[in-house]
C-alpha cells in the first residue's frame, strides 16, 4: 500500500482512471459549438467573466455546454482563452483536454497532469488533463469541484434550449 492509497476514501477513483462515455463530443464538435455561440474555441477571451453565465443545451444528446474564460493561476501575463466545457455533475473533478491545456501553458511546454486554472473568475480550480485513452480525451469537463467551489448550479430553460450557471 502506498501513502496515496491510505489517504483516499473507499471507492475513490483517481482522475487519470475516470472514464465517461462521451462519444458525441470531440474537438471538431467543440469548434461547431463555439461557432454556434459566435466565438472562437481557444481564442482570446476577456478575464474575468461574471456569473450568471449562459450556456446551450446541445442536441441531440442534450449536453450542457458552456464557454468560460480560463487562464493559468501562476502567471499573471498568461493568455486567457475561451474554453468550451461540458457540464457534468457526475464528475467529481474538472478536466481539460490536451489541446485546451496547451493553449494555456504553451504548445512547446511539457503538459502537466494537473494544473490550477482560474476559470471565469479569480478562484483557482485544480484541473486534470483528460485521460488520453478515455472516451472523453478531446473534451473539457466542468466537474463538481468547480460547481461546489463557486457555488453555482445549472438552471435550465428547456424552451430556449439554454441554461445558466447561477
Read off the pLDDT of residues 142-151 as tens digits, 9 standing for 90 and up: 999 999 999 9
Q: Rg (Cα) of the chain, in Å, rounded?
A: 15
Predicted pLDDT of residue 17: 60
Predicted pLDDT of residue 75: 73
Pick the closest to residue 139 from 28, 15, 16 (CA basis).
Answer: 28
Give domain limits for the chain. 27-165
Q: Is the pLDDT of residue 31 over 90?
A: yes
Separation between Cα atoms, residue 78 and residue 29, nearest integer Å: 26
The CATH number given to 27-165 is 2.40.70.10
**Phi, psi torsion values for 27, nearest 5 degrees:** -60, -40
Contacts of 133 (CB under 8 A, 6+ apart): none
Predicted pLDDT of residue 8: 72
Separation between Cα atoms, residue 28 and residue 14, nearest integer Å: 28
Q: Is the pLDDT of residue 4 over 70?
A: no
Q: Is the pLDDT of residue 86 over 70?
A: yes
Cell of 161: 434550449
- Exposed / middle / buried, residue 75 (Cβ in 10 Å: 0-12, 13-18, 19+): exposed
pLDDT band at 5 (very low <50, low <70, confident <90, very high): low
Pick the closest to residue 129 from 94, 87, 83 (CA basis).
Answer: 94
Amino acid at each position: 500500500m502506498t501513502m496515496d492509497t491510505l489517504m483516499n476514501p473507499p471507492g475513490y477513483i483517481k482522475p487519470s482512471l475516470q472514464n465517461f462515455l462521451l462519444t458525441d463530443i470531440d474537438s471538431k464538435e467543440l469548434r461547431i459549438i463555439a461557432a454556434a455561440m459566435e466565438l472562437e474555441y481557444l481564442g482570446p477571451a476577456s478575464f474575468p467573466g461574471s456569473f450568471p453565465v449562459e450556456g446551450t443545451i446541445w442536441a441531440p444528446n442534450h449536453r450542457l455546454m458552456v464557454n468560460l474564460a480560463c487562464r493559468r493561476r501562476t502567471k499573471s501575463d498568461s493568455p486567457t482563452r475561451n474554453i468550451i466545457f461540458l457540464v457534468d455533475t457526475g464528475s467529481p473533478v474538472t478536466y481539460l483536454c490536451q489541446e485546451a491545456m496547451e493553449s494555456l501553458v504553451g504548445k512547446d511546454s511539457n503538459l502537466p497532469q494537473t494544473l490550477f486554472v482560474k476559470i471565469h473568475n479569480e478562484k483557482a480550480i485544480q484541473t486534470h488533463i483528460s485521460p488520453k485513452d478515455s472516451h472523453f480525451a478531446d473534451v473539457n469537463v466542468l466537474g463538481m469541484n468547480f460547481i461546489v467551489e463557486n457555488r453555482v448550479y445549472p438552471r435550465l430553460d428547456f424552451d430556449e434550449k439554454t441554461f445558466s450557471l447561477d
